[in-house]
Amino acid sequence: MVNRAFPQHESPHAPRRWWARWCRRVAHRWYVLTTPALMQPALQAQWAAHIAVSEEQHEGQIAVYVERELPAHYISADRTARDRAVGLFGKLGVWDTEYNNGVLIYLLEAEHAIEIVADRGVRTCTQEADWTAIAQQLAQLLQAGQTSQGMLLAVDSVGALLAAHFPRATDNTADAPRALDNEVPDFPVL
């Protein structure tokens, strides 16, 4: 028997979900309008240079993406910061490295969310606890106002994991992986 108390396209919770999405959107906009940017564009060159130095130690690829707020269509669809990070992981081509060893560090300022997305080659070699520890360490430094130090330490930590599992080849034998060109741009996206 079909319950006819509510039309089939609606649920008793639909108004609350709409209201929650609207409040979330307003909170994001309010954050952007009233809070100075956590990540300053002047730091981009410094972080890019640091990522490049890190990538000289391993075959992995590191990308950084910092967003002030989620796009409106993500909020309307009840998507999370993790959903956005996974989407950007694909959009930025971090997943498309030769050895499947790309890592995206994603920060969503409006929700104080940090997501680290690792490609399948990296996930098979590492533990979830490794990524959680890096994210927690970054969060602590961001809360303390040490934005640049936090990001540089996160890049160093990710680089150390990648160097342990994907070291840069030093010899030119046929069995050793060859040194690759930079497959993912080092310049952080703000």
- Terminal CA-CA length for the chain: 53
The amino acid occupying position 58 is H
3-class secondary structure, 166: coil
Token digits of residue 19: 């209201």
pTM confidence score: 0.85
Asked if the model's pLDDT at residue 6 lies above 70, the reply is no
Cβ-contact 105, 63 below 8 angstroms? yes
Q: Write down the pLDDT at residue 178.
A: 47
Nearest-CA neighbor of 101 among 178, 159, 46, 56? 159
Sign of CA dihedral 47, 51, 186, 119: negative
Q: Write down the pLDDT at residue 189.
A: 83
| Structural domains of the chain sorted by starting position, each given as residue range(s) with its CATH number in brackets | 42-165 (3.10.310.50)
Q: Specify the DSSP element, H or E, that contains 57.
A: none
61-65, 127-131, 171-175: range with lowest mean pLDDT: 171-175
Q: Is 122 left (phi over 0), alpha (psi -120 to 50) or beta?
A: alpha
Q: Write down the pLDDT at residue 30.
A: 93
Asked if the model's pLDDT at residue 4 lies above 50, the reply is no
Q: Could you report the per-residue pLDDT of 93-105, keeping only the tens digit for each? A: 998 888 899 999 9
